[in-house]
Chains A and B, each alone.
Chain A
């Protein structure tokens, strides 16, 4: 399983038949009620969220939505949220906190949308606000990177007590193409970028950026979606059981300490 190269994993992570948020909602949850709109400006189809039952227990589920057909793709902007999407996500998280529901986020995005209107309405502020607020949410937050998790656009849903990744998903500062074009002014060197970026789940686990890797069926989740989703179910259940034992204060303190440490170890090791 671990013989796959980083570039191969990127391809699997982007596979069109890979289970997406709609599949997960159907398989892992019941009674999903979608909540739309950020209450400030508009609805953003790139983020799907609402209340559902997880093994009979109310939870808030929020995730990015790419869509499968061309029409769906357009409706949800290929899974690239704008500020409205992040603000909607925050609204739902605050509501989850009010009603003491755990929060699950499912992340598969090539990044926040770099468009004119997104900038006009404060893409940067919306992401920053989510990072800030998520660090203080007093209910358990579990994030799962199910496909691609790129840039602040993914992080804005991933300041969580447990950040889990499917084995062949990837999580990075930006797409390998973007990385290559910024660093070398050559998007063609994407494969080289994949190898250097440390974007695979096992690498990120060893860097301490994520908390766990969810196994996938041989060849990728798209080959046996049900098995893959069953693994996700198991991982979510375990994470929740552990987090349920912690009080609000302990939860936020531990979450903060986890992110507080990011990158510091590397600096001490080689001055």
Chain B
């Protein structure tokens, strides 16, 4: 009986991830990093990584989930959680609706319970196609609900971060989500549970200054831009050009803020190993 549901779930995720892994371009795709052309099909098959230079193309939330979760284990949490317009900001509602139509998402965060290498866990993903993965009240709430769900069910938590920062149209309430998610993680951590944060391109602003930086383990995808202030703002502030590789995943690892840079093709194995290593939660 279980397998019927598992099949259905696996089909559902496969369908959604297909849409998410759509690599734009007719037949050939030009890599924004190396400038070389590759077959679209080839890029899609290599987990949206440029076959020539290893550049990691941005990917959608469901595709991300399908890359790491065991087939058939996916069950979405708070799928219908509504997006809101808490400050009644002019033009914002229309913007949300057009984003929802374009991406098929209700908000920038997708959270799910699933399994990696047979180990159950809660996984949240920010999707930067949805208003740059910016932190809205709904995003903060969904992440917090996922943290609480994991805490209640004693499950490890994995959050894939990608964000342009605060959701301007939600002003101060966007800012407050930083406090909310961080405080929820503190309570989660007190239970002795594992939180792995995975930083993908780009992770900036309020997300960096909250849950992205609070993982017991922090992983990053190669070349991902990770920082609090964006490079443009820093450049304006200091009036100098920034060094090559500044704020990239490798730079952050060198400066002590990332445990390991893990290519997309190895992410699933890395997560699976980490879950295994933390299985007993340190208790005998």
Shortest C-beta distance, B219 to chain A (Å), equals: 15
Task: Assess whether A60 is interfacial by the CB under 8 Å rule.
Answer: no
A128 near B238: Cβ-Cβ < 8 Å: no
Task: Assess whether B262 is interfacial by the CB under 8 Å rule.
Answer: no
Interface string of A254-267 (1 = CB under 8 A from B): 01100110111011
The answer, among A136, A196, A262, A267, for a CB contact under 8 Å with B89, is: A196
Residues of A within 8 Å of B240, CB to CB, are 116
Query: How far does the alpha carbon of A147 sit from the alpha carbon of B187 in the complex, in Å?
Result: 32
A173 near B171: Cβ-Cβ < 8 Å: yes
Task: Assess whether A73 is interfacial by the CB under 8 Å rule.
Answer: no
A121 near B213: Cβ-Cβ < 8 Å: no
B237 near A114: Cβ-Cβ < 8 Å: yes
Residues of A within 8 Å of B211, CB to CB, are 128
Query: How far does the alpha carbon of A113 sit from the alpha carbon of B238 in the complex, in Å?
Result: 11
Residues of B within 8 Å of A173, CB to CB, are 166, 168, 171-172, 174-175, 206
Task: Assess whether A124 is interfacial by the CB under 8 Å rule.
Answer: yes
Query: How far does the alpha carbon of A222 sit from the alpha carbon of B172 in the complex, in Å?
Result: 26
Residues of B within 8 Å of A133, CB to CB, are 186
Query: How far does the alpha carbon of A94 sit from the alpha carbon of B238 in the complex, in Å?
Result: 33
Query: How far does the alpha carbon of A197 sit from the alpha carbon of B169 in the complex, in Å?
Result: 8
B138 near A132: Cβ-Cβ < 8 Å: no
Query: How far does the alpha carbon of A263 sit from the alpha carbon of B82 in the complex, in Å?
Result: 12
- A260 to chain B: closest residue by CB: B180
A115 near B238: Cβ-Cβ < 8 Å: yes
* Number of B residues with CB within 8 Å of any CB on chain A: 58
B213 near A128: Cβ-Cβ < 8 Å: yes
Task: Assess whether B247 is interfacial by the CB under 8 Å rule.
Answer: yes
Task: Assess whether A237 is interfacial by the CB under 8 Å rule.
Answer: no
Task: Assess whether A70 is interfacial by the CB under 8 Å rule.
Answer: no
* Number of A residues with CB within 8 Å of any CB on chain B: 53
Query: How far does the alpha carbon of A248 sit from the alpha carbon of B162 in the complex, in Å?
Result: 36
The answer, among A125, A182, A196, A256, for a CB contact under 8 Å with B257, is: A125
Interface string of A101-136 (1 = CB under 8 A from B): 000000000001111101111111101110111011
A128 near B180: Cβ-Cβ < 8 Å: no
- A178 to chain B: closest residue by CB: B233
Residues of A within 8 Å of B176, CB to CB, are 155, 209, 259, 262-263
Residues of B within 8 Å of A135, CB to CB, are 179, 182-183, 186-187
Task: Assess whether A179 is interfacial by the CB under 8 Å rule.
Answer: yes
Task: Assess whether A152 is interfacial by the CB under 8 Å rule.
Answer: yes
The answer, among B172, B206, B212, for a CB contact under 8 Å with A209, is: B172
* CB interface residues, B 117-169, toward A, < 8 Å: 137-138, 140-141, 144, 166, 168-169
Residues of B within 8 Å of A204, CB to CB, are 172
Beyond A123-B209, A266-B173, whether A132 also contacts B183 by CB under 8 A is yes
Task: Assess whether A226 is interfacial by the CB under 8 Å rule.
Answer: no
Residues of A within 8 Å of B178, CB to CB, are 127-128, 131, 152, 155
The answer, among B137, B168, B187, B229, for a CB contact under 8 Å with A183, is: B168
- B166 to chain A: closest residue by CB: A173
Task: Assess whether B70 is interfacial by the CB under 8 Å rule.
Answer: no
Shortest C-beta distance, A262 to chain B (Å), equals: 4
The residues of A with any CB-CB pair to B shorter than 8 Å are 112-116, 118-125, 127-129, 131-133, 135-136, 151-152, 155-156, 158-159, 171-174, 179, 182-183, 196-199, 204, 207, 209, 255-256, 259-260, 262-264, 266-267, 269-271
A–B Cβ pairs within 8 angstroms, 17 of them: A114-B228, A118-B229, A122-B256, A124-B228, A125-B257, A129-B213, A131-B179, A151-B166, A155-B175, A155-B178, A172-B171, A173-B172, A173-B206, A197-B87, A207-B173, A256-B183, A266-B173
Those 6 A-B pairs whose CB atoms lie nearest each other, nearest first: A263-B137, A266-B86, A114-B229, A135-B183, A124-B208, A131-B182
